[in-house]
Structure 1
Amino acid sequence: MRRYAPAALAAALLGQRARRRWLHLIVGGALFMPFWMVGTLLMGPLLDEGGMFSGGLGVQFGAYAVGLPLVAVAALFPLARPMAVAAARALCGVPAERLADGPARGRAAKARTSGWFVLHLGAGALVSGATLALPPFAVSVTALPFSPALRASELGRFWGLDRPWWDWAALPAGLLMLVALAAVAAATGTLLARSAPRLLGPSPADRLAAAERRAAEAESRNRLARELHDSVGHALSAVTLQAGAARRVLDAGAGADLEFVREALTAIEETTRRTVGELDGVLGLLRRGDEVEEGVGPGLDSLAALVRGAGPKVALTVSGDLSAVPETLSREAYRIVQEGLTNAARHAGGEPVTVRVEARTEAWEITVENPLSARPPVARPHGGHGLRGIGERARLLGGTAEAGAAAGVWRLAVRIPR
């Protein structure tokens, strides 16, 4: 809906945004007071005038001129820019992404921060002084036509200049003073809002730090996604496989191998209990906002339980001494085997699966093999991420990962140099 000119003018001068920016200027004036007081202590003796509050205009403006360089120096402290950015975001209406976070880094950023403080506190001091002094004066001028006492006062004599008919001109003049004050405050607030991105915006060092922070956060999220995918995905695949095998045995009716069913149910119980523990650990880190550290989670010492839970057709072969494997590698190797078994459950179709973990002199090698089933694997709606996760884990450790079908066998081979 189209706004009328008076309404638009009133919103520009006294709307919520204008009031917030006016308040921002008053805050700047309040912050300037200590620097102005120091200036009056220095300028009073030099000009041989009164003290802090009794000196003339020379002392006041001299103190103002002395205070501005002190403001520029104070802006070099580390907390200066975060405080200025917080105030600009809250009161100036500047979008958060256009302002920098944290202390200023580098000479250019510190110089721009000093420039902002000089502009904010300097303009704020002038607007604050006008806000304190002008409204009472404007109200008194507006009341001149209605108050004989005011007309007889020094203000009335100054205004009337021995022309009584001129008293009625004081009414619009006083109102115009108030409008002019609001206009100056709105214009100054707009100037500050437009200057904030240039003076408080991110420098190249800030952008680099922000990019590094986003990369670290993305890596943490990716690591968390890998943990959840490998743990929960393997558990669901293993439970599905064991439950399906138990159902087929029970469907055989009389003479069913109940011992096999019992083993399948035990494997399901162990797998779900272990997975719930792993899930609680990862979600606990997520609730606390911590990063998923490389040393969190099961390692190769839990490999036997992992293979046992994957079903009776999974065979594990271990060569070499695994006790000397570093904790990080032990944990990543466990996850690689876990995801390899999950992938084999999709491709093997109940065929035997062989897992080999070899600790050689020059490298650690992990191999998962299974015959390809005549039945095609169940397709996922959005594709799988397991093999990509295995490749990421291997590359983080400086190794390689290869997976594919050849001669009727699906083979996953991971090699990590020592």
Structure 2
Amino acid sequence: MVRFLRPFSRAVTYTRWLHLFVAILWPALWFFVISELPGFLGAAAVLALAALVPAVRTVEGLQARLLLLGLRHDDDAGRVVAAPSVTWSDRGRTALWLETRLLLGSLVAFLTFHLPLLSADLVRGSLGDGPALSPLLRIPGHHGWYTLLAPLPLLALAAVVLGAGELITVAARRLLGPSPAQRMAALEERTEQLLERTRIARELHDSIGHALTVAVVQAGAARAAADPAFTERALAAIEGTGRAALEDLERVLSVLQERDRRVGARPTLADADRLLESARAAGATVEAKVTGPLERLPGPVSREGYRILQESLTNVVRHAGAVPAQVDLRVAADVLVLEVRNPLDGGTAPGPGRGGGLRGIRERAALLGGHAVTGADRGDWRIRVELPLG
């Protein structure tokens, strides 16, 4: 019983009931004012013509959002579009919606009026008093037990109100909801947002993670060395790396805040020397071999290649420490090959649950149509990435 009564404590139950009642204004107006054609058929014809007006879909969508979904259903509002009709498919679905609403609203209004009268007829029949009020059912004779049946029409009315409210809401989501083209556009927009968030997360991880790694390693080394000259060099390295990280952070925040002013361009492989010097300042011995013109690389390849090299060198400093590392950058006719190796004897590979950077490298490569291989190779830890230039 409590489960049955719970919907009647929700305001949306009554707003849906009101929404169905509003649907009969057309046939009522037609019947009482114009009435040259049968009221219901004439109103249905007028509604079919009204559906051709683009703004009608906007009005119906707003009504459905307010009265059918309720003010607390903002998360569900996207399933009902309050926008004008654009295509003939939109107009056709609007016409079908108006006819469905008219038919269901007329039925609910009729039962809303006559079921309470039927309940009153049962009470009057039990008392033997007066003629029938409702044409739904003729009450034969006069019997006292009719009183026991009097609540049944009211219960039936409650079921009709709940069932019709759910049915008209489902119809609104189907007929006033976004078209396939609109769903595809919304899905593409959502996908772009997720990709942008993922890219920004990678940018922050690579840039800030690299800067913090260098700063921690340099600070620890300077404290252990207790050498003023070394400390001076360590502080200079920390300062340079920190400034670069702040520039990256400012650029990312500017994108998030959608500022109008121009911000610095994203670093590319043409700035690879900055990464190499930062790793060397952190204690790693980095030997770099560059083959081919890095400055002529396509923008996306050069930018993502920079981040991949940054994460690779961060892994060397973080997990291996002061060990020799080999960096090989080769620009071929149709592919960029980036390989970073360091011996495993001097440190450890990224442990379980610490492969976020490696996963980011593989994802960056995959987004550009390339691939990445990471793992142990002949006593070394190797990261090899191939990015197509086309």
Please say whether Structure 1 and Structure 2 have the same fold, judged by a TM-score greater than 0.5: yes
Matches within 5 A, 1:7-156: 8=5, 16-25=11-20, 28=23, 64-74=43-53, 79=58, 82-83=61-62, 86-87=65-66, 88-90=68-70, 96=76, 99=79, 111-120=92-101
- 1:99 Cα shift? 3.0
- 1:22 Cα shift? 3.2
Calculate the TM-score normalised by the size of structure 1: 0.65
What fraction of aligned residue pairs are identical, expressed as a percent? 36
Indicate the residue corresponding to 2:325 in structure 1: 353
What SS class does the counterpart of residue 376 from structure 1 fall into?
coil
Give 1:261's match in structure 2, choosing from 211, 225, 231.
Answer: 231
Give 1:407's match in structure 2, choosing from 370, 378, 387.
Answer: 378
The one-letter code matched in structure 2 to 1:236 is L
Structure 1 unmatched ranges of 5 or more: 41-52, 139-158, 160-175, 251-255
Q: Does the CA contact (< 8 Å) of 1:318 and 1:356 recur in 2?
A: yes
The one-letter code matched in structure 1 to 2:236 is T
Cα distance between partner residues in 1 of 2:75 and 2:331 = 55
Cα distance between partner residues in 2 of 1:220 and 1:101 = 26
Cα distance between partner residues in 1 of 2:249 and 2:169 = 47
Give 1:367's match in structure 2, choosing from 329, 339, 348.
Answer: 339
State which drifts further: 113-122 or 240-249. Answer: 113-122
- 1:226 Cα shift? 1.7
- 1:19 Cα shift? 2.2
Larger Rg: 1
Q: Deviations over 1:262-284 (max 9, x none)?
A: 11111111112211221232233
Indicate the residue corresponding to 2:202 in structure 1: 226
CA shift in 2, pair 1:282/1:85, >3 Å: farther
Indicate the residue corresponding to 1:282 in structure 2: 252
Q: Deviations over 1:342-394 (max 9, x none)?
A: 111234321122323333334322222222234435746x3222222222222
What SS class does the counterpart of residue 220 from structure 1 fall into?
helix
1:314 has 2:309 as partner: no
Give 1:270's match in structure 2, choosing from 240, 243, 256.
Answer: 240
The one-letter code matched in structure 2 to 1:70 is L
Cα distance between partner residues in 2 of 1:12 and 1:410 = 63
Structure 2 unmatched ranges of 5 or more: 118-132, 134-150
What SS class does the counterpart of residue 73 from structure 1 fall into?
coil
Cα distance between partner residues in 2 of 1:303 and 1:4 = 67
The one-letter code matched in structure 2 to 1:272 is G
The one-letter code matched in structure 1 to 2:19 is H
Q: Does the CA contact (< 8 Å) of 2:311 and 2:357 recur in 1?
A: yes
Q: Does the CA contact (< 8 Å) of 1:246 and 1:261 recur in 2?
A: yes
Cα distance between partner residues in 2 of 1:203 and 1:289 = 33
Indicate the residue corresponding to 2:367 in structure 1: 396
What SS class does the counterpart of residue 323 from structure 1 fall into?
helix
What SS class does the counterpart of residue 369 from structure 1 fall into?
strand
Q: What is the count of residue pairs matched by the alignment?
A: 348
Give 1:239's match in structure 2, choosing from 215, 218, 223.
Answer: 215
CA shift in 2, pair 1:384/1:309, >3 Å: same
CA shift in 2, pair 1:19/1:80, >3 Å: closer
CA shift in 2, pair 1:58/1:14, >3 Å: farther
The one-letter code matched in structure 1 to 2:272 is L
Calculate the TM-score normalised by the size of structure 2: 0.69
Give 2:355's match in structure 1, choosing from 355, 372, 384.
Answer: 384
Cα distance between partner residues in 1 of 2:317 and 2:257 = 32
Q: Does the CA contact (< 8 Å) of 2:21 and 2:106 recur in 1?
A: yes
Indicate the residue corresponding to 2:121 in structure 1: none
1:193 has 2:169 as partner: yes
What CA RMSD, in Å, does the superposition of the two structures yield over aligned residues? 4.6
CA shift in 2, pair 1:63/1:240, >3 Å: same
The one-letter code matched in structure 2 to 1:111 is G
Cα distance between partner residues in 1 of 2:39 and 2:72 = 28
- 1:303 Cα shift? 2.2
Q: Does the CA contact (< 8 Å) of 1:278 and 1:297 recur in 2?
A: yes
- 1:64 Cα shift? 2.6
CA shift in 2, pair 1:319/1:191, >3 Å: closer
CA shift in 2, pair 1:363/1:187, >3 Å: closer
- 1:320 Cα shift? 2.9
What SS class does the counterpart of residue 414 from structure 1 fall into?
strand
Cα distance between partner residues in 2 of 1:400 and 1:358 = 15
CA shift in 2, pair 1:4/1:326, >3 Å: closer
CA shift in 2, pair 1:193/1:415, >3 Å: closer
CA shift in 2, pair 1:224/1:78, >3 Å: farther
The one-letter code matched in structure 1 to 2:273 is A
